[in-house]
A and B are shown apart, each in its own frame.
Chain A
Amino acid sequence: MPRESGYAHLLVTKVPGWHGLIAWDALLNGMATGLFMAAAVSELAAPAVFIPVAKVAYPVALVLLLVDLALLVSDLGDPLRFHHMLRVFKPRSPMSVGTWCLSIFSLPLTAAAALSLLAEMGIDFEWARILAVVLGLLPGFGSAAYKGVLLSTNAQPGWKDARWMGGYLTNSALLMGCAELLVLSALMGQTQATTILRIAFIVLLVLNAIPLGLLFANLRPAHARLYTRKQQWCVGALIFAAGTLIPLDLTLLNGGLLFIVGAVIFLLLVSWVIRFVYVKIPHTSPLEIRSGE
């Protein structure tokens, strides 16, 4: 038989230069949009309880979004051409949908943040602030929802099979947003808001385990190619323990500020690890190639 030669052992696709910045971008995008949406939903469902904490949440969400946008722009090959993204709207391009959603979302978010700060200074336009919050909900949701689709609608090994990436990232954005809002309310001493958000956080934490599990199932073939069985079990157990069980235990154990902050730190840390591991999949060599190193 002829020797197996040629290019059959090589990966056909090229890896885009998306590295750690994109993992941070995916995290900050979720934190910013999630915080806004969690604050907006809570404020609209129970205004009497959540208005004070929501007024602090919007400026925080704006700062997170600005940092995220800075990362997005700096990751371009030619950052000075960022505005070229706005010359067309292509519904079939998740990046185009995301750019437009983020651009539109930044307007009501800025208005909500500015009006919240003005209200603190005694200049209150409550109706305008509520209007900005309502107007920001749809583009905010779109900004959270596009990211996972962008990272799964492509030809990259692993990414192309991650059917639940979008489901996980959008769900995780809300979970992180709820966690951030919980920390803010605890820091501000808003007892009732903290009590409600603590329960909501527990519910969302359990709910988030579903898309995360489905995402892991999607990625099993890719992980099997890259990691040994033992490594897969270790990482999976670590992510489940540190990202779900520990935050769950800490929140159930005690409603104190320290426990809440601890739970949220664990959650954010693991959320970053998941995004980082995912972004790195196409950059990682298969086992058979690495074994020669």
Chain B
Amino acid sequence: MSRYSLGFGARQPWASLASLLALALCLVASPASAARYTVIDLATLDEGATVVVRGVNAGGTAVGGGRVGGARRGLLFTQAGLQAVDGVDGSDYSIVFDINDLGAVVGGSNAPSAARAFLRTRSGAARELAPLPGDTASTAFGINNHQQATGVSSGPGGERAVLWSADGSVAVLPGVAGQGSRARALNDRGDVVGAADDGAGLRAVVWRGGGPALQLGALPGRATSEAVAVNARGDIVGYSSDTTGARRATLWNAAGDIVDLGALPGGEFSQALGISNAGHIVGSSTSSLGSRACLWTPGEGLQDLNSLIAASSSVLTHATGINRAGVIVAFGHEAVSHDAQEEHGHDDTHELPVRVFLLVPSGARP
């Protein structure tokens, strides 16, 4: 269904060399005058656990999950500090996956015998987002400004993408033939994106306005794909994967094109994790310098976000969300001398505390 076009991130020899030189210069000593983002330190999280960082909403608040004081907690990353967010009562494990501009959050947390989705409003009132009738578990991954939420319900029938209305009622999203589906995000007009398993692996899908699932396809040579974010005009981003699991950042734009967003010089693995209404895309890419947070813009293509901030002792490895004002949430760690080991797909940076940052465009306010 989609037309394929070469993305602005596609590498050419001259571009690779230039990018490499630019990266090297920027990472050694980025002159403050070149900084296009002001970096705000939001939090430092314990290492040794998979950290989830998502968002960011119009108010500059990001969300996620990590270990705090030993326990796995849902988190709000605000400029005023880190806030723990509990899901269902008594949960021993919570993650917040999305926040809307009204400050309502959704996520997943453990009930005694299964994961349950939850929605918590800005005032702190929380409610469970129940699974489909007959199912036992649910997780909410996305919420829009109409208080609709999307995610998955699972039970004897498998895992199915669902949509919760503002009143909390749940409905299954029309399926595709196969072994299950999951929804990851939605915009204010009700376009839901995610993936469906057709028996041969995940395929990126969109449910436009709650309609039937449309397969988005994958980049040539890539067998599987997943859509993880959608902007107000219906541009969708995510990744395509090959049989080894290696990901490639992918844009499915509203015009129906499928675009390879490429990877940084020296890297192969990339993923697009967020997209603004202006079409600015954030994500991560491996590179000759290791894993790096990235920004794709229609005008300037693929850039290492580390080259767009003032010299720092930290390395930004993933940018996971961007709001309509262009404010980006990213995470990384303190720079270590062997970061370049990541080019081999290995490093020991998961032994370092995780640093979470807000990147505010110069002249803008978070």
Bind each other: no
Interface of A toward B, CB cutoff 8 Å: none
Interface of B toward A, CB cutoff 8 Å: none
